[in-house]
Amino acid sequence: MDKYEWLLFLHVSGAFLLIGGIVVAWTFGIAAVRRELPSEIALLMRLTGAAAAAIGIGMVTTLVFGLWLVSYLDFYKWTDGWILAALITWLIAGPLGGAGGKRDKETRQFAERLAAEGDTPSAELQARVRDPIALALNLGSSLLALAILVLMIWKPGAGG
Amino acid sequence: MIAFLRPDGWDFPLFVHVLGAMALFGGVGAIFLLSLAGQRMPEQAVFARRTAFVTLLAVVWPAYVVMRVGAQWIFDKEDLDPDMPTWISTGIVVGDGGALVLIALTVLGWLALRRKPSVARYFAGLAGVYLVALVVAWWAMTAKPGA
């Protein structure tokens, strides 16, 4: 494998971690909405933490190796529209996902506390699991990550 | 170099294939995590097994179909027969072999849920092996050895 192939593999690996992690997080998030027992919700939200780690690593990896690829290849420029659009989208998606993840973490801690205190269903926990602000933040960051994938494949404005 | 020379008409099939593959990786990752949690937390084992099985049916299988349809779509456009490069062969082995793995996971998941909980460890092991196979496949698809 030459340097280009390594850079591309690591860049794409970051994308797999990012989008794969988002799929895991949504899978567990939707499953949590359908549960009532705090212990079950706490388990799902703890596992979402592993997905969040994959998303974080994926975001950093795609950026680092993506920028490296741009500097390595002569025919792409930092100022290409699709690269700038991807960078701006990346910059917006990160904080959005981080804010959603922070609210999810608070819900997980609440679920863990309820699980330790008798594990009985709670209306407040149900409301927190369905938190529309967290949902909007997570949905927004997920759609932006998808938009980055679209930009990477179509490369609008790039020749060839 | 194929990424630079790719005709515009290949973009959408490639998007379908890549998105399906990423969702498949995430779905298999989810059932692997649930299986491990079920092994390590006996009091949550039944719930974890049930959620893993539902995830297999609702996320992993549909993602596999999207990935495989996208793969066939772009393969037909690339017209690579009869000289099949190594990277395509690797993708086909992991792609088509994946159907057998998913059938095995479905049987094991059902058995773990309904008949024999002890097979849950094989479910977890097979999901882990398939995750590694998916990494090998995306390495072959991106690095394109033999291209």
Tell me the two tokens of residue A44: 């799902």
Q: Is residue A97 part of a domain?
A: yes
Please indicate if any CB of chain A lies within 8 Å of the CB of B39. Answer: no
Nearest CA in chain B to A12: B142
Measured CA to CA, the distance from residue A114 to residue A124 in angstroms comes to: 10
pLDDT, tens only, A53-101: 999 999 999 999 999 999 999 888 888 999 999 999 999 999 999 999 9
CA dihedral (B3, B7, B8, B13) positive or negative:
negative
A135 alpha carbon, distance to own chain's centre: 13
Return the closest-CA partner of residue B138 out of B12, B13, B55, B20: B20
Q: Closest CB to A9: pick one of B4, B48, B142.
A: B142
pLDDT for res A77:
87
pLDDT, tens only, A100-130: 999 999 999 999 999 999 999 999 999 999 9
Q: Is residue A124 part of a domain?
A: yes
A52 alpha carbon, distance to own chain's centre: 6
DSSP A115-128: HHTT----HHHHHH
Please indicate if any CB of chain A lies within 8 Å of the CB of B57. Answer: no
Q: Is residue A107 part of a domain?
A: yes
Residue A120, φ and ψ in degrees, nearest 5? -105, 145
Task: Using an 8 Å CB-CB cutoff, list chain B residues near A70.
Answer: none
Q: Is residue A159 part of a domain?
A: no
- The pTM for the full model equals 0.93
Q: Containing domain of residue A124, as a range?
A: 3-154
Residues of chain A by 3-state class (helix, strand, coil), percent to 5: 80, 0, 20
Q: Which residue has the tokens 């992690």?
A: A21
User: If residue A72 lies in a helix (H) or strand (E), which one and from where to where?
Assistant: helix A38-72
pLDDT by 10s per residue, chain B, length 147:
344 557 777 899 999 999 999 999 999 999 999 999 999 999 999 999 999 999 999 999 999 999 999 999 988 887 766 677 888 888 888 889 999 999 999 999 999 988 888 899 999 999 999 999 999 999 998 887 766
Q: Please, which residues have CB within 8 angstroms of residue A52's CB and are 6 or more apart in sequence?
A: A21, A25, A101, A104
Nearest CA in chain B to A49: B33
B82 min Cα distance to partner chain A (Å): 24
Return the closest-CA partner of residue A89 out of A157, A136, A148, A135: A148
Q: Are A39 and A30 in contact (CB under 8 A)?
A: no
Task: Using an 8 Å CB-CB cutoff, list chain B residues near A44.
Answer: 51
Give A78's DSSP letter.
T
Q: Is residue A82 part of a domain?
A: yes
Q: Is residue A160 part of a domain?
A: no
Number of domains in chain A: 1
Q: Is residue A42 part of a domain?
A: yes
